[in-house]
Amino acid sequence: MKKVLYLLLTFSVLLSACNWFKTTPEVGLVLSKHFNDKLYKDFDTAAYNVVFNRHFDSLKSTLSNPKVIGSYYSAQEHRTDLVTRFFTNGELDTLKNYISASTSHGFNPEIFRYTALNALLSKLSAHQFKSIADVYPVIADLELTAAASLLKYDTFIGYGSIIPRKVLNRYYVSTIRPDSASMLKVLESKSLAQLLRSIQPAGEDYLSLERELANLKKSPSVNAAAIKAIEVNMERLRWKIAGIGDEYVEVNIPDFSLTWFSHQDTVTHMKVCVGGRREKDYEEKMKVFLKTHSLDDKPKNHQTPILLSKFNSIQVNPVWNIPVSIAQSEIYYQAMRDPYYLSNNNMRVYYKGQLIADPDTIQWRKYPREHLPFQFKQGSGEGNALGKFKFIFDNGSSIYLHDTNNKSAFMQSNRAISHGCVRVERPLEFAEKLVDNKYQYDQLRMEVNLPPIDTTKMAIYQKRLAKKADTVNVYQVKPKWFGTKKNVAVFINYKTAWAENGRIEFRNDIYDLDDAIYTAMKKFR
């Protein structure tokens, strides 16, 4: 009996030593079948994992998204995942080919590790290994390189290579960026080819710029400025912006224009005036101001911010709450030079919330403009800088669209002349499209002394005119608010190149924002 047990034990040890009971992992079976070579059936997961961990540690500092990659491969069955699923069916070669073509998006393929990926694919395809141990480092490096390349390609092509808020001054639009959960889904994709197709920007504006870029690159030195503009604006189009909706008003700062879109159709288009560019050498001058705190050293910056919001109201016959910066830099000096400037321009002065009855008597020289204790408002009516209409939406920069009493400004070619808000060329037309219904529009028209469209309201209109013309009981114009259509977004944007009517339109980079983006993208070109 003891002899039988001894023989059985010896036999089981021999079986174990000969790997008779060992199961070949899927990667070994897939490669063995693909190359018709039993070598890969000797694939030992435990031995490979040691090699994989060592290579991951050595490559970690050079990989994009190392935490996500580390999290994904913490599961042992994932450590040959991309090679197992996508090497033999050619989809890792598809990834390589997409990366090679990334020049069409303005990128250098090397930022996606093209050379390394190509070399590893070639090495595995060459199938010249003397032992299974020689295979492990190639598969480990290919797995990690493919994962890093894929994640970076998905981010750059699908979402943009930069985070605009980190690069641009006064950029207040939330852009969607991939998080760890979405990156893990990318690595878990069932079809790499299908995923790569879905990543490509599909908008006609982007595709038009992409085609133009290919043409311009035939003579890169001649077309350097245009190439720069195209690449920067393709980057802008890659940024994923949520919350615009199907109906929105876009103000394009460099074009000095406003366009109302509804399901891609243009509802209206008109000129606008935007904020003036900030003072030359602004950054250096700001450093001086932060040291001296003297307003004489403070550089001007009236640039209109880039933002996204939704209209919520129209103020007719608006009151202009004059910003502190304008009071300090302009109103203060005007009032000092002309004691009647304030009353002649319908401006009221408040001290601790109380209206000063006769502001023309204020001794301005007693008050340093750095510490003016007054607040200023310009009343409704003729001469108001905001005109007759103010179009309001929530934002943290006190920006709005408005009418103006200076209509001649729309005849200028460079209309970067405001303090930051956006002046609209045809405010009445804009108001008509923005109010909720025809009844409101008629009420709005009568507030600015225009007859209603509905002739049955003419009696009401005539009565209002008579009241305003009464010389005994002086009529005081006051602001009135009207609601707007729901969910009409306003997108104050900045585009210097775009497709229109079969051609590419270019505009000057008036705020030097293209330069900022291009500089941030340079390392990827």
Beta bridge partners of 355: 350
Note whether 25 and 76 are within 8 A (CB): no
Identified catalytic residue from 55, 105, 302, 402: 402
**If we measure between CA atoms, which residue out of 52, 91, 95, 54 comes closest to residue 75?**
52
Query: How far is residue 402's CA from residue 391's CA, in Å, rounded to a whole number?
Result: 6
Provide the 8-state DSSP code for 352.
T
Note whether 295 and 328 are within 8 A (CB): yes
Identified catalytic residue from 55, 105, 273, 421: 421
Report the relative pairing of strands 354-355 and 347-351 from DSSP bridges: antiparallel
Query: How far is residue 270's CA from residue 291's CA, in Å, rounded to a whole number?
Result: 43
105 assigned to active site: no
Q: CA dist 171 to 88, 110, 305, 415, Å?
A: 46, 30, 6, 20
DSSP collapsed to 3 states, 445-507? HHHCCCCCCCHHHHHHHHHHHHHHHCCCCCCCCCCEEEEECCCCEEEEECCCEEEECCEEEEC
Query: How far is residue 497's CA from residue 134's CA, in Å, rounded to a whole number?
Result: 52
**If we measure between CA atoms, which residue out of 311, 381, 308 comes closest to residue 348?**
381
What is the chain's length? 525
Q: Is 325 helix (H, G, I), strand (E, B) or coil?
A: helix
**Residue whose entry in the numeric block shows the structure tokens 């028209």:** 445
273 assigned to active site: no
User: Residues with catalytic annotation?
Assistant: 402, 421
